[in-house]
């Protein structure tokens, strides 16, 4: 039932494209390709939803996104704390009988900023890792519908 087609892409004729309607067949083919000795980095897939097994078969490293998240979150935390303490020292004004540097009160804004900056940086990291927005893709989208596709780069 393998309805594999040979695509004649004008630019890159060495890419073989296999197209499947069922996920199982797609995974079987992918597995057999890897077993045949195809280097996983030459294989790419297009799927209508996230297929966890692909990462397992291709032995892909976990996404580097976590570094963006970590750096963003830590930056947000320390930067906001530093900023708040700077503002109270810049113009010392005692309010409500609280000490100038009231750590318990500052934790809240620092916490919110951890999440704010962490979330934004993660999102930007996601865009960066995927090279989004992909203008080529936007102008000439390659549609695979609901099919599972394997792209084998021969070059």
Partner 1 sequence: MKMMSKKMPVVVQIILIALVVFIMDFIFTSQSNISILVGLLFWAGVGQGLIAMSAAADLAQGKWIKSIKPYMQEYYPLLAMFPIIFIIFSIHAPAYRWSWEPGTWLNLPFFIIRNTIAYLLPFIVAHFYVMASRKSSNKTQLAAVLYIVSFVVCQSFMAYDQVMSFEYPWINTLFGAFFFIEAMYAGIAFSIFLTGLLSWKDSSGFKSSFQDFTLMLMGFALMWAGLFYSQYLVIWYGNIPEEVSYIATRMEDPMIEKMGIFTLLTLFLIPFLLLVSRKIKSTVPVVFGIAFLVLAGLVVERLIYLIPVGDLSVMGVIMPLVLMGIPFLALLRSQYSSTNGKN
Partner 2 sequence: MGEDTRMNLEPYFQQVETDVLGAMSKPRMFYWIALAISALAFAGGLTLWGYQIFKGMGVAGITHPVGWGVYITNLVFWVGIAHSGTLISAVLFLFRAQFRSAYNRIAEAMTVIAVMTAGLYPLIHLGRVWRAYFLFPYPNQRLVWANFRSPLVWDVFAVSTYLTISMIFFYVGMIPDFAAARRHFTGIRQKIYNGLSLGWQGTTDQWRHYNRLYMFLAAFATPLVVSVHSVVSWDFAMSIVPGWHSTIFAPYFVAGAIFSGIAMVITLTIPMRKILKLESYITVDHYEKIAKVLLVTAMIVSFSYIIELLLALYSGNIFEISIFKYRMLGHYRYFYWLMIFCNVLLPLTLFIKKARRNLVYLFILSLFVNIGMWLERFIIIVTSLAHEYNPYSWGTYTPRPVEIGISIGSFGMFFTFFLIFSKTLPVLSISEIKEQKEHLEQKEKGENQ
115 binds partner 1, rule: CB under 8 A = no
17: number of CA atoms within 13 Å, CB side? 14
Q: How many helices (H) and strands (E) does the chain have?
A: 5, 3
5 binds partner 2, rule: CB under 8 A = no
Q: What angle do CA 116, 117, 118 make, to 5 degrees?
A: 90
Site for partner 1 (CB under 8 A): which residue of 101, 107, 115, 120?
Answer: 107
Q: Which is nearer to partner 1, 35 or 59 (CB)?
A: 59
Cβ count near 128 (within 10 Å): 13
Strand ranges inside the chain, DSSP E: 15-20, 43-46, 148-153
β-strand pairing of 43-46 with 15-20: unpaired
- Tell me how far apart the alpha carbons of residues 101 and 84 are, in angstroms, rounded to a whole number: 9
For the segment 97-136, give every residue that binds partner 2 (CB under 8 A).
98, 102, 105-106, 108-109, 111-113, 115-116, 118-120, 122-123, 125-127, 129-130, 132-136
88 binds partner 2, rule: CB under 8 A = yes
Residues that bind partner 2 (CB under 8 A): 1, 21-25, 44-51, 54-55, 58, 60, 62-63, 65-66, 69, 83-84, 87-88, 90-91, 93, 95-96, 98, 102, 105-106, 108-109, 111-113, 115-116, 118-120, 122-123, 125-127, 129-130, 132-138, 141-147
Q: What residue ranges bind partner 1 (CB under 8 A)?
A: 97-98, 104-105, 107
């Amino acid at each position: 039932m393998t309805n594999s087609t040979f695509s004649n892409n004008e630019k890159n004729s060495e890419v073989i494209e296999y197209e499947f309607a069922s996920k199982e067949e797609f995974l079987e083919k992918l597995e057999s390709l890897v077993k045949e000795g195809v280097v996983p980095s030459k294989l790419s897939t297009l799927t209508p939803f996230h297929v966890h097994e692909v990462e397992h078969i291709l032995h892909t490293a976990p996404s580097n996104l976590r570094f963006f998240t970590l750096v963003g979150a830590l930056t947000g935390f320390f930067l906001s704390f530093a900023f708040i303490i700077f503002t109270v020292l810049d113009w010392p004004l005692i309010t409500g009988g609280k000490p100038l540097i009231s750590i318990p009160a500052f934790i809240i804004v620092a916490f919110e900023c951890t999440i704010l900056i962490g979330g934004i940086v993660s999102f930007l990291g996601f865009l960066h890792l995927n090279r989004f927005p992909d203008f080529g893709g936007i102008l000439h989208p390659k549609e695979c519908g609901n099919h599972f596709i394997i792209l084998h780069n021969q070059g």
